[in-house]
Structure 1
Amino acid sequence: MKDVSGVLGAVRARSFGAWRGGRYLLGTLLAATVTLFAAPLLCVPTLAQPWAERQRQRAGALLGRPVEQRRRATRRNLLGLLTQVATGLPAGGLALICLGNLLLAPFIVAFWWAFDTAPWLPVISVPLTGWGTALWLGLVNVVLLAALCVIVLPPLARLHARCCLAVLAPSPAEQLVERVSELTRTRTDVLQAHSAELRRIERDLHDGTQARLVAIAMRLAVVGQRLPGDPDDPDDPNGAAALVRQAQAETEEAMTELRSVIRTIYPPVLADQGLAGALTTLATRAGVPTRIDVGPLGAVPAAVEAVAYFAVTEALANVARHSRATEASVLVTRDGELLRARITDDGAGGADAVRGSGLDGMRRRAAALDGTMGISSPPGGPTVITVELPCA
């Protein structure tokens, strides 16, 4: 019983494969015929692209391969039209002959008596003089034609589908462009998610953890006032009042550290005033007179804002510490999807990221967002630092 069921399963599988292959090839014959007669229209790029994609989807479905949408490739689409006619007509014609004759043989057997002359059969043909000859010879023809369909049509269909996918496949250059576009889209999604996460962390630390530390410090101060004894008494350093005072001091140190961490994650001034307002506030605290010029920026991801802010902060700190400059300027502009920050000073020059002046950290921050940083600082100045950050 297992052998019989296995044989039946194999027969069904091969029959289904022949049916799928034959259906694909008949569709290919129809597509090739339409392509031949409608070639002037299908040579138009806006029509050639969807037509070529339709053929790719059919080929991918037969082979069980996922086929992703391509960008427009006019030359490959035209080559695909030519290949469709050159290979689709003979392959589809062969499938039509095999399947047509397979359907024709039983019809001839059933109606052999209606013909004036003895009809012919597709594979083995002799005059049909009676029902016996018609039945056994018709059965032989059907078996032979079915075997021919099972043997020929599936591999022929797969061969044509592979040829179609190979001809219409994106070139290495097109694949690179698509990959870059995909990475750009995913980077945009990551930046947006990162921006939301930065704002959430800053808000949670500022409004949650920091507020709780402030409340603890206030309670410790109240407790210290109510406890007997002098917390500054050197003879009783382990007294309750001294321990409370120590705990209060450590809590305040923790708040100071937390504020520093919050500023390095996402400065609150960015959330409150945006990048333009934050840079203006930063200029008022710079060690040298600084002019801020911020153009229209549009929507900028929080991660990009933070990196730009930290870059300007570090650059102005270097100006104050090392450059001996009398003035500095910061120009922030938006060019398409690129945010550009340009920091200039009239100092002595000679800035070098290799010497650990904080410039290397700026470069790493920019590179983390696929950005760049350039330095022009000849001896005698001026020094110009340009940071470019993609916003998408």
Structure 2
Amino acid sequence: MSRTGQAWRGGVYLLGSLMSGAATVLVLPLLFHPRLARLWANWHRDRAGRLLGTPLEPRPARRRWADAATPRDLLWLPVNALTGLALGLPALLCVGNIVVAAIATPLWWAFRPVDRPRLFVDVPVTGWATALTLGPLQIVLLAAVAYLAFRPIARAHARICLAVLSHSTAEELAERVEVLTRTRADVLDAHGAELRRIERDLHDGTQARLVATAMRLAVARQAFADDPRDEAFVEGLLRDAHEGIEEAMTELRDVIRSVYPPILADRGLAGALTAVTTRCGVPTRLTIGDLDRVPAAVEVVVYFAVAEALTNVAKHSRATAAGVRVDRAGDRLSAVITDNGTGGADDSRGTGIAGIRRRVLALDGTVDVDSPTGGPTTITVELPCGS
């Protein structure tokens, strides 16, 4: 970006800081609410990061409050009020006086004598000589001040913001431990639920069919021993037993597939995702970058995340098109699933996103859902996959 563009961007930032500082003073009691304080701090933190060109990691949610405030978020309220007003007001005066000079130079005569604009604070414009000399001079001088000062002042404010809102090493470690503790509990719950599901499927499905088949074979054996000539009856029992074994094998394959999809072993992640997108009821475009070697656990999570997300698209979104993009940057693998449907995807509505989130968090990954009402929906999954 050119220096002029940076000065312009700095001026916009400073004027925004002035307004946010004034807003902080006006609604300070409301901003002490834990969630509002965190949202207010996050907005300033992201805004400062964009100005400085510093990518910021999303801050994890707290245990008891979704986005609850920290002491640093509360500290930022008075700091923002002070720095926003102190640094933003000079920028407003500079810009305002440029506007005054730009209006006064050609239109001074349109004002009543008592209302005529003043240049350089207290010099009234009473004639063309004053307007054509002091007006452009004021514009040039203040524009030079803005050109030279807006960028460093804005960056100074942004650094103050990040200095206040950036966590110390101890705080980051504490948040990290909290997230890992919560993730471990979720993983244990999910693991227990998965084991119970597998046990139920095996007990109620496969085992029941095998028991029924064993009983039919026992009856057939006894019937053959009692009357070898009753071939029709024995044949019927054997046929039922054969069908029962095939059904049990089908159910057993389904259980195995839910643990580790065989298609991943047969075709790899790219082939498995191709099969999933092909079977989706909504036309889906698949884009896969250079993934290199991906750990098996990550492949399983990505496969199930994409499969579940596309199932949601087909069932709930009323979309006419979807897309899946899987790529890798360093040790992070990302999967982005999009659709042009009606949006409104929410964990609490039983759309399967909660299951995706549990699987991803189990591997220390992240899930971001952007699904405004009316659409479109974008689900971004990121997972560490080693170097």
Q: Normalising by structure 1, report the TM-score.
A: 0.43
Larger Rg: 1
